[in-house]
Amino acid sequence: MEAPIRATEFLRFTLLSLLFFVCRSSPSHDLLISNAERRIDLTSHIVKVYLTLKVENAGSTPTSEILLAFPPTQVDHLATVEALVTKGKRKKTTLARLDVKPTELPDAPNGTKYFTIYLANPLNSGESTTLEVLYLFTHSLEPFPAEIGQSESQLVYYRDSALILSPYHIKQQTTFLKTPSTKVESFTSMEPTNRAGTEMKYGPYEDRPPYSFSPILIHFENNSPFPVVEELVREVEISHWGNLQVTEHYTLVHGGARHKGVFSRVDYQSRPNLNGVSSLRYLLARLPPRVHSVYYRDEIGNISSSHLRTDSRKSELEIEPRYPLFGGWKATFVIGYGLPLQDFLFESSDDRRYLNFTFGCPLLDTVVDKLTVKVVLPEGSKDPSAVVPFTVEQHLETKYSYLDVVGRTVVVMEKKNLVPVHNSPFQVYYTFKPIFMLAEPLMLASAFFLFFVASVAYLHIDLSIRK
Amino acid sequence: MAAPESSAAAVPTLYTNNALRNAFGGVLAFFILLLIGVMAFSIRLFSVIKYESVIHEFDPYFNYRVTQFLAKNGIYEFWNWFDDRTWYPLGRVIGGTVYPGLTLTAGTIWWLLNSLNIPLSVETVCVFTAPIFSAFASWATYLLTKEVKGTGAGLTAAALLAMVPSYISRSVAGSYDNEAVAIFALIFTFYLYIKTLNTGSLFYATLNSIAYFYMVCSWGGYTFIINLIPMHVLLCIVTGRFSSRLYIAYAPLVVLGTLLAALVPVVGFNAVMTSEHFASFLVFIILHVVAFVYYIKGILTPKMFKVAVTLVVSVGLAVCCAVIAVLVALVASSPTKGWSGRSLSLLDPTYASKYIPIIASVSEHQPPTWPSYFMDINVLAFLVPAGIIACFSPLSDASSFVVLYIATSVYFSGVMVRLMLVFAPAACITSGIALSQAFDVFTRSIKFQLPGIASKAEVDAAETSSSTAEAQNDVVKAEKSEETSKNRPSKKSKKKEKEEKPLTKAKAEKKRLLALPLDSSVISLLLLILLGALYVVHCVWAAAEAYSAPSIVLTSRSHDGLHVFDDFREAYAWLRHNTDVDDKVASWWDYGYQTTAMANRTVIVDNNTWNNTHIATVGTAMSSPEKAAWEIFHSLDVKYVLVVFGGLVGYPSDDINKFLWMVRIGGGVFPHIKEPDYLRDGQYRIDSQATPTMLNCLMYKLSYYRFVETDGKAFDRVRQTEIGKKYFKLTHFEEVFTTHHWMVRIYKLKPPKNRIRGKTKKSKSKTSTTSSRAKRSGTGKKNPWH
């Protein structure tokens, strides 16, 4: 008896929702893109795409939502999408950041994924606006051949579409690709296609209907190392005695073409330009200024090959792994440093304290597959809350450190697929009473006191049976 | 200081004076001991400050790994641990073959700290275990020497031990080895033995057994205790010093101690079955016989006693002969006469080099040279004889023990350089006694020569004392001199002190007669202080320069600053991260412990040299030509071969220099490896005069593969010569990793060739040569310069 009712309900619901979506999404198709220019930077292993869209509202109703479409294969590697709108006329243009959120649309062809850009002011009919969109892909350069010897250079594939995937009609579009060197093995041609030096130009293409797609494949040399941090755990420990201790555990892998066969040190040392060009020799970490007691070690001890340069604005830590990393080789290490607390801890207007620290990985040009940031609040702090500029998974933990009794609250934030763009500040708010700072010194003092009392008592009490 | 004479009339003043002085002396001694502990700890931190907080050398890595396992899995898992990552494919029962004292100690410290929420890592705890226990050892030395010759000697000995280079060499921070805790256990066991001997207290006797148990847990050197104490007991009996105190000191130790020792899995039934322990049982029997005889003597009349003696002796002799015959037969039936190889090489110093090359190959099992005595105990070498003489005046049970201890340990240290460590505490104790007695005599002379300005002299002494630790002890000792000299024979009891007061004056008169001239005693005092200062300077130098290097990191100073050679860890880290978890790594056994601990890979042989055949197999592979070696390694499922090569940077303890031992050990089991094949006219060389066997063996090839391309001449900086064979190819191995300074080279075994059906042997060999030629041309193509 129940089943038919349910079926009809379901049918009604789907019909309703379909109707709703048709109503909702149909005006958006009145938008059209009069001009699109895309610049794809392939020089490092993070693919940067700068998209300039001139959007025009050809419909009758004002709209404030603009959709960006991505093929499902790219969306998995998409690290970040940012949209900026140019304001003002001619000379006094300023850029304003817009909200971008992933959106699900029911009638997406071939599993296309969408992001919606929310305009600050609705776009009235007939008006047009220029959007600057930046998005980054990780793990999008596929090494081919997948395994190379020590003296070979690294060749990679990049797959994309010559036409910009968009739910809107695009009147005119051009795509520029920048390769790291002039050495390009092959590329898909789609007239008009030009190649000059390190730049390739696809287009201009005129009047393409929505969801136009034309796959291209570029095979080129990219000898930059592909440093990928598979897992990074950053632990930020706040001590109200004036120190902020940061400990970062890295699992680093060279994500490029896998190393095959022999590693010969003599070749590597005598001809560094020809041998192991894509190997990862050193990494640069940009740390906050006034950093102190920096260490760089792994599970078997200190790694002596690192240099720290500090000036008033920033500190740079140059680290070499124990051995040069060839494709597929891994290394794990820990970087730790202390920072003066007053640079990062502030009091908010409502008497709470907040830590203002950088999210993301301090290593330059590095992809982080999984990042866990743990903020260890001092013992006795309450009501923690984190403010992060992007979505992260959050939960709380308890950690017991030096002489803790109730344990310290740890705010844990996790995020996958990070690029250096994510190195933006985040805040953790909490309340803390300074009296808790004295708990541990008092505990120690009383322990010593008791010890002395016990000693005095022992010396003055005669426990012997015989008198 | 002048108080004793003047206050004889005013008894109450004297009494309060003395009490105050005793209290003051006690507090001072306590603080001096505290400072000695701090010094013992901090002098061992040079390695952490100059290098880093890291585990040193080879064996400590194994102990560290065991401790990690213990901390992670708990004690029950630890006892049952079968380690399949070593001695592949045999494995090793760690729980039953390891002396667990050190790991249990460090594991307990770690657990305690963590339960107090002090999150120190296991590594940190392991690194600092040795310095902590050396502080304990110096306190134990104080207690032991105090029992023998009073507080002053105790403090001096403790200060000497806190910084004796021999002990520092085994207990710097990071040197996480059995000896680190064992020396403390050794001294403490001796202390409790002496304490029991002096007091006759069963409480101390029980503690003594427990301390002995801890020693058995910690180190194989416990056999030294279980042989030395019976020797002393025997000495006491022979010299007519038998007493009930001796019985209480010894009998519980044998019974309880043996029972407890048998609880340790690695000892087990060895505690009653091996010859190392027989002496203790024999003396145990003798002690009872003697005790019985004394008892009989007490209840019988002298005449009856004589009759009984003749009766017992005639019967007893017959029984003894029978028992001894059976014992001899039993012992002789076992091939090693019931003795372990290491013990045998102690009794017969030439034994190891004749029969067991694997024991002889270890540098710490070699006899020491004279300079190493001076290096390790420095001025103590001159003070020891004086200390022995001081022990004889007067000879008590305790001081005879010290004499026996030093005599035996001098012998053992002469056999094995490693046992210098047992000798060092004895040297410190006797030197402490000597120094303290000398100071005693000189300060007393000065005091009696100058009764008027005695108090001033005391102030002077206090001022000069602040410079060195020995001098500080001198002050305490000087204060206590009266007391210690008085109750030396009977050691204890404050009550007696009061009764003996009338004697003081007579004694003082006697002392005055013994006094030395003022100027000579002042000069001698200054010279002694100078000697002490020299010792301190030497110890600090030894701690800072000679014994702090962790040996896994090497540094060298050149004109352009400090250069760090961190190649070992580079290689181990590479193995850890870039090879499969179950890959087997073959190397000479020296690097076994480090490979399992740092690289976490399965090894074929390691530093626990329990299976000679297995080691010989690896030695044979290293000394065979490439193909034979490949077959041996392949049969052992080995995937990587690791060699240590110092020729590029001049690191002398590399595999080429150890190679003759590989040949010897390999040849001991597999006779087709003959040492003369590797020697040209009895000389070991790798230059153009080397034998073809040498130039074609695997070790040579793996060490020098493509070495010529570094400088064009292939000049080996360790051997100071150009190598014999410069250009060659590897057919069965391929280089997969070489560290920055070429100190560690890792090769991978090539997979076996596909079998080509229907081809004759000849054509197969032809294909292999063509393939190698093709390979050569291939590499030539890659490197147009060669």
Q: What pLDDT was estimated at residue B777?
A: 40
Q: What percent of chain A has pLDDT over 90?
A: 25
Contacts of B731 in chain A (CB under 8 A): none
Q: How many whole angstroms separate alpha carbon B411 and alpha carbon B756?
A: 65
Q: What pLDDT was estimated at residue B493?
A: 43
CA-closest candidate to residue B120, choices A293, A335, A337, A403: A403
Nearest CA-CA distance, residue B579 and chain A, Å: 9
Beta-strand (E) ranges in B384-457?
none
Q: What pLDDT was estimated at residue B109?
A: 94
CA-closest candidate to residue B677, choices B740, B620, B742: B620
Nearest CA in chain A to B61: A300
Q: What pLDDT was estimated at residue B352?
A: 64
Position B341 confidence tier, pLDDT thresholds 50, 70, 90: low
Q: What pLDDT was estimated at residue B562?
A: 81
Write out B441-496 in H/E/C secondary structure: HHHHHHHHHCCCCHHHHHHHHHHHHCCCHHHHHHHHHHHHHHHHHHCCCCCCCHHH
User: Is the Cβ of A403 closer than 8 Å to some Cβ of chain B?
Assistant: yes
Q: How many whole angstroms separate alpha carbon A347 and alpha carbon A240?
A: 13
Q: Tens digits of per-residue pLDDT, A174-219?
A: 999 998 888 888 888 888 888 888 888 987 888 888 888 888 999 9
- Which residue from A263, A300, A330 is facing B735, i.e. has the nearest CB? A263
Q: How many whole angstroms separate alpha carbon B215 and alpha carbon B182?
A: 6
Position A15 confidence tier, pLDDT thresholds 50, 70, 90: very low
Contacts of A404 in chain B (CB under 8 A): 117
Contact A323 B119 (CB under 8 A): no
* 282-341 of B, contacting A, C-beta below 8 A: none
Contact A302 B52 (CB under 8 A): yes
What pairs with residue A331 in β-bridges?
Answer: A252
- The more confidently predicted of residues B496 and A420 is A420
- Which residue from A263, A266, A303 is facing B709, i.e. has the nearest CB? A266
- Which residue from B576, B710, B782 is facing A266, i.e. has the nearest CB? B710
Residue B142 tokens read as 């104080």
Q: What pLDDT was estimated at residue B338?
A: 59
Position B15 confidence tier, pLDDT thresholds 50, 70, 90: low
* 279-298 of A, contacting B, C-beta below 8 A: 298
Q: Tens digits of per-residue pLDDT, A234-255?
A: 999 999 888 999 999 999 999 8
pTM: 0.84
- Which residue from B119, B577, B738 is facing A329, i.e. has the nearest CB? B577
- Which residue from A266, A301, A403 is facing B569, i.e. has the nearest CB? A301
Q: Are B691 and B623 in contact (CB under 8 A)?
A: no
- ∠ CA B544-B545-B550, nearest 5°, is 90
Q: What pLDDT was estimated at residue B353?
A: 64
For an interface test with B, give the residue of A150, A153, A263 to mutate (most B CBs within 10 A): A263
Nearest CA-CA distance, residue B444 and chain A, Å: 33
Which of A32-36, A92-96, A389-393 is predicted least confidently?
Answer: A92-96
Buried b (16+ CB within 10 A) or exposed e, B576-593: bbbbeeeebbbbbbbbbb
Q: Are B79 and B66 in contact (CB under 8 A)?
A: no
Contact B574 A323 (CB under 8 A): yes
Please provide the average confidence, as pLDDT, over all residues in chain A: 85
Position B677 confidence tier, pLDDT thresholds 50, 70, 90: confident
Contact A329 B578 (CB under 8 A): yes
Report the half-sphere exposure of A404 (CA within 13 A, side-chain side). 19
* Size of the A and B interface in Cβ pairs below 8 Å: 76
Contacts of B740 in chain A (CB under 8 A): 265, 323
User: Is the Cβ of A423 closer than 8 Å to some Cβ of chain B?
Assistant: no
Nearest CA-CA distance, residue A153 and chain B, Å: 13
Position B509 confidence tier, pLDDT thresholds 50, 70, 90: low
Per-residue pLDDT for B782 more than 50? no
Q: What pLDDT was estimated at residue B716?
A: 87
Cis upstream peptide for A215 (omega within 30°): no
Q: How many whole angstroms separate alpha carbon A449 and alpha carbon B441?
A: 42
Q: What pLDDT was estimated at residue A277?
A: 82
* 54-113 of A, contacting B, C-beta below 8 A: none
Q: Tens digits of per-residue pLDDT, A112-146?
A: 888 888 888 888 888 888 888 998 998 888 998 88
**Residue A54 is inside which H or E element, if any?**
strand A47-57
Concatenating the DSSP letter of every residue in B514-547 gives HPPPHHHHHHHHHHHHHHHHHHHHHHHHIIIIIS
Q: What pLDDT was estimated at residue B640?
A: 93
How far is C-alpha B491 from the chain's CA centre? 32
Collapsed DSSP state (helix, strand, coil) of residue B203: helix
* 565-584 of B, contacting A, C-beta below 8 A: 566, 569-570, 572-574, 576-578
* 37-76 of B, contacting A, C-beta below 8 A: 52, 54
User: Is the Cβ of A153 closer than 8 Å to some Cβ of chain B?
Assistant: no
Nearest CA in chain A to B121: A299
Contact B739 A402 (CB under 8 A): no
Per-residue pLDDT for B138 more than 90? yes
Nearest CA-CA distance, residue A6 and chain B, Å: 55
Which of A405-409, B192-196, B753-757 is predicted least confidently?
Answer: B753-757
End-to-end alpha-carbon separation of chain A, Å?
97
Nearest CA-CA distance, residue B296 and chain A, Å: 32
Nearest CA in chain A to B565: A304
Beta-strand (E) ranges in B55-109?
82-83, 92-93
Instruction: For residue A414, count CB atoms less than 10 angstroms from its CB and return exposed for 0-12, middle for 13-18, buried for 19 or more.
Output: middle
User: Is the Cβ of B551 closer than 8 Å to some Cβ of chain A?
Assistant: no
Q: Tens digits of per-residue pLDDT, B35-71?
A: 999 999 999 999 999 888 889 888 899 999 999 999 9
Q: Tens digits of per-residue pLDDT, A428-452?
A: 999 988 888 888 899 999 999 999 9
Q: What pLDDT was estimated at residue B498?
A: 45
- Which residue from B117, B576, B598 is facing A404, i.e. has the nearest CB? B117
Q: Check residue B589 and report its DSSP letter.
A: G
Position A266 confidence tier, pLDDT thresholds 50, 70, 90: confident
Contact A151 B782 (CB under 8 A): yes
Beta-strand (E) ranges in A341-465?
345-347, 353-358, 367-376, 382-387, 393-399, 408-418, 425-431
Q: How many whole angstroms separate alpha carbon B299 and alpha carbon A73?
A: 105
Contact A300 B569 (CB under 8 A): yes
Residue B707 tokens read as 């070495």
Contact A264 B52 (CB under 8 A): no
Write out B314-341 in H/E/C secondary structure: HHHHHHHHHHHHHHHHHHHHCCCCCCCH
Q: Tens digits of per-residue pLDDT, B181-222?
A: 999 999 999 999 999 999 989 999 999 999 999 999 999 889
- The more confidently predicted of residues B574 and B274 is B574
Q: How many whole angstroms separate alpha carbon A385 and alpha carbon A350?
A: 14
Contact A402 B119 (CB under 8 A): yes
What are the angstrom distances between the C-alpha of A191 and each of A188, B720, B741?
Answer: 10, 68, 54
Nearest CA-CA distance, residue B37 and chain A, Å: 19
Nearest CA-CA distance, residue A184 and chain B, Å: 22
Which of A269-278, B217-226, B250-259, B414-423 is predicted least confidently?
Answer: A269-278
Over residues B375-395, the mean pLDDT reads: 88
Nearest CA-CA distance, residue A192 and chain B, Å: 39
User: Is the Cβ of A307 closer than 8 Å to some Cβ of chain B?
Assistant: no
User: Is the Cβ of B594 closer than 8 Å to some Cβ of chain A?
Assistant: no
Nearest CA-CA distance, residue A222 and chain B, Å: 20
- Which residue from A261, A323, A400 is facing B570, i.e. has the nearest CB? A323
Q: How many whole angstroms separate alpha carbon B457 and alpha carbon B475?
A: 11
Q: What pLDDT was estimated at residue B484?
A: 42
Q: What pLDDT was estimated at residue B402?
A: 93
In the chain, the amino acid numbered A451 is: F
Per-residue pLDDT for B157 more than 90? yes
Residue A149 tokens read as 């010897």
Which of A202-211, A414-423, B484-493 is predicted least confidently?
Answer: B484-493
Q: What pLDDT was estimated at residue B759?
A: 54
Over residues B690-706, the mean pLDDT reads: 89
For an interface test with A, give the residue of B49, B117, B710, B731 to mutate (most A CBs within 10 A): B117
Q: What pLDDT was estimated at residue B452?
A: 58
Please provide the average confidence, as pLDDT, over all residues in chain B: 82
Q: Tens digits of per-residue pLDDT, A276-298?
A: 788 888 889 999 888 999 999 98
Q: Are B643 and B595 in contact (CB under 8 A)?
A: no
Over residues A38-58, the mean pLDDT reads: 89
Instruction: For residue B314, count CB atoms less than 10 angstroms from its CB and return exposed for 0-12, middle for 13-18, buried for 19 or more.
Output: exposed
Q: What pLDDT was estimated at residue B354?
A: 67
Q: Are B215 and B200 in contact (CB under 8 A)?
A: no
What pairs with residue A396 in β-bridges?
Answer: A411
Nearest CA-CA distance, residue A328 and chain B, Å: 8
Contact A330 B706 (CB under 8 A): no
Collapsed DSSP state (helix, strand, coil) of residue B224: helix
Contact A403 B117 (CB under 8 A): yes
Greatest extent of chain A over all pairs of C-alpha atoms, in Å: 113
**Residue A252 is inside which H or E element, if any?**
strand A243-254
Over residues B544-557, the mean pLDDT reads: 85
User: Is the Cβ of B549 closer than 8 Å to some Cβ of chain A?
Assistant: no
